[in-house]
Amino acid sequence: MKKLINFPYQNILVLGLARSGTAAAKTLLRNGKNVRINDMNAQENSQDVQELVSLGADVVLGSHPLTVLDNMELIVKNPGIPYDNPILQEAMKRKISIVTEIELAYQLVPGTLIGITGSNGKTTTTTLTTEMLQKSDQPVKVAGNIGIVATETAETLVEEETLVLELSSFQLQGTVTFRPNIAVILNVFSAHLDYHKTLENYKQAKYNIFKNQTEEDFLVYNAEDPAILDAVPLSKAKLIPFSVKRKVDNGAYADEDYVYFQGEKVIERRKIVLVGEHNLENILAAVSAAKLAGATNKGIEQVLAAFQGVKHRLQFIGKKAGRLFYNDSKATNMLATRKALSSFKQPVILLAGGLDRGDDFSELIPYLDNVKAMVCFGETKDKLIEAAQKANIEFVIAAENVEEAVKSAYDLSAEEDVILLSPACASWDQYATFEERGDIFIEAVHKLM
């Protein structure tokens, strides 16, 4: 197991357990640190808690007393805990540093680190990059926001292995020294403002992916994203742009026939399975990161000729009576839904709705031209119905949930229509995760079939 070397803290509070907090606490305990754990919901008799106690942790459960901060030098917090939490507010007053376990994982990485972030496309780009390196016989592991705890993975790495990390804004906001050798930033637009409070705070969290990079590192960035272009001049890294609209020097781009990286033909576009301009952006970003980390054109081609997409991200489910069903449950914001809609030329029946974060859905209206019907559900259904009516969509109805929406959509559909779940909202009003929402959609489609 890799040990923490340049980590000057001895007394550490782990705030929030779940998988990442449990892994962080175990790592710290294995490294001889004094660890206090505070969690509201964990049970004292759970296996994880019992193991942490046996390893020497001081565990406080069921409430968040301010006394848990006494004598602490550092807080490793669960990414989902917002900074307006009273414990964190008090910690800031006491000038106690606050990080997420990504900062801890960074201290354990002995070799090349690739960090990938963006408002949309992170999981697809992370998966593509990892598979491109695998097919090129490069030793690689993947972790982070993709669902694999970074600290656990980092502890097992050897120097020859590359670690590919998918990184959310929640994770990145809690970094201090984090420095990937290759940083990838796909896009930045308004999201998670209930957590970050302002768009500027959200942007700064994203920009943390490259803030510590030096001239020895690489920054792969979207040359068509205004928010990224505003920030890129702050970077000290070697700049590697990608663009779906034009040729770019020293980066990745595509014409009608080929994908290029630094002027070299990498793959013929006709061989690529993934559809949609947003996926072409993800492909160009992944090609850039993978090539910089040693991937071969042959390895890249093997991946792109077979890769059909990540589950819940414009995932083709099947066909019934000429209707095509796509699961895009990971579209938890309007930009993701806009990109999904732009992937289809045939008539679409859109299933949308979810948690109300105060968004105005009028910006969706210009992208609803090929939408023949909308089925709306969740807290935002009335707002989405209003937007659909302004777009003069012929059939607009409400449903109680995703399962009911599938039945209604099928009743409204005709042969060759696309029935698309692309909610434009988070799932938490009705479903624990977007994965649960997508799985229910898949199950409802399979019942139809």
pLDDT of residue 226: 94
Predicted confidence (pLDDT) per residue in 282-308, tens digit: 999 999 999 999 999 999 999 999 997
The whole-model pTM stands at 0.80
pLDDT of residue 284: 98
Please state, for a pLDDT cut of 90, what percent of the chain lies above it: 85
Which domains does the chain possess? 11-99 (3.40.50.720), 103-304 (3.40.1190.10), 315-448 (3.90.190.20)
What whole-number distance in Å separates Cα of residue 302 and Cα of residue 288?
16
pLDDT of residue 190: 65
pLDDT of residue 272: 93
**Closest by alpha carbon to 183, among 132, 125, 262?**
125
The residues near 193 (Cβ < 8 Å, ≥ 6 apart) are: 199, 202, 357, 358
Predicted confidence (pLDDT) per residue in 150-168, tens digit: 999 999 999 999 999 999 9
What whole-number distance in Å separates Cα of residue 224 and Cα of residue 241?
9
pLDDT of residue 271: 95
Mean pLDDT of 316-320: 88
**Closest by alpha carbon to 242, among 226, 257, 223?**
223
Predicted confidence (pLDDT) per residue in 177-229, tens digit: 999 999 999 999 867 777 778 989 999 999 999 999 999 999 999 999 999 99
Residue 22 predicted with pLDDT over 90: yes
